[in-house]
A and B are shown apart, each in its own frame.
Chain A
Amino acid sequence: MSTHQLNAQNLLCPMPVIKTQDKIATLASGDILEVSCTDPGVLSDIPAWCRINGHKLLHSEQSDRIIKLTIEVIHENDR
Chain B
Amino acid sequence: MTKRKAVALISGGLDSLLAARVIQNQGIHVEGINFYTGFCVEGHTHAIRKKDKAKPKRNNALWSAEQLSMKLHIIDISEEYKDIVINPKHGYGAHLNPCLDCKIFMVQKALDWANDNDFDFIITGEVIGQRPKSQRKETMPIIARESGAEDRLLRPLCAQNLPATLPEREGWINRDELFGFSGRNRKPQIELANKLGFEEFAQPAGGCCFLTDEAYSNKLADLWRYRGEKRYELDDIMLLKIGRHIRPAPNFKMIVSREEGENNFLEGYRKQFLHLRTVSHNGPLTLIDGEPNAEDIELAARIAARFSQGKQDTEVQVKATFPDGQSKILGVAPILPTEIPQGWYV
Using known A-B contacts A52-B71, A52-B72, A53-B71, determine if residue A12 contacts B47 with beta carbons closer than 8 Å. Answer: yes
Q: Which of B65-83 contact A (CB under 8 A)?
A: 65-66, 70-76
Residues on B with beta carbons closer than 8 Å to the beta carbon of A43: 57
Shortest C-beta distance, A19 to chain B (Å), equals 9
- B62 lies within 8 A of A49 (CB): yes
Main secondary structure of the interface of B (DSSP, over half): mixed
Quick check: which of B35-43, B89-97, B298-306 contacts chain A, the rest being far away?
B35-43
- B76 lies within 8 A of A12 (CB): no
> Count of B residues near A, CB < 8 Å?
29
- B65 lies within 8 A of A40 (CB): no
Residues on B with beta carbons closer than 8 Å to the beta carbon of A13: 42-44, 47, 57, 59
Residue on A nearest B238 in the bound complex, by CB: A12
What 14 new A-B contacts, CB under 8 Å, besides A12-B238, A13-B57, A14-B36?
A10-B268, A13-B43, A13-B44, A15-B36, A17-B59, A18-B74, A18-B75, A39-B43, A41-B46, A44-B57, A44-B59, A48-B59, A49-B74, A52-B62
Interface residues of B (CB under 8 A from A): 34, 36, 40, 42-44, 46-48, 53, 56-59, 61-63, 65-66, 70-76, 238, 264, 268
Interface residues of A (CB under 8 A from B): 10, 12-15, 17-18, 21, 39-41, 43-45, 48-49, 51-53, 65
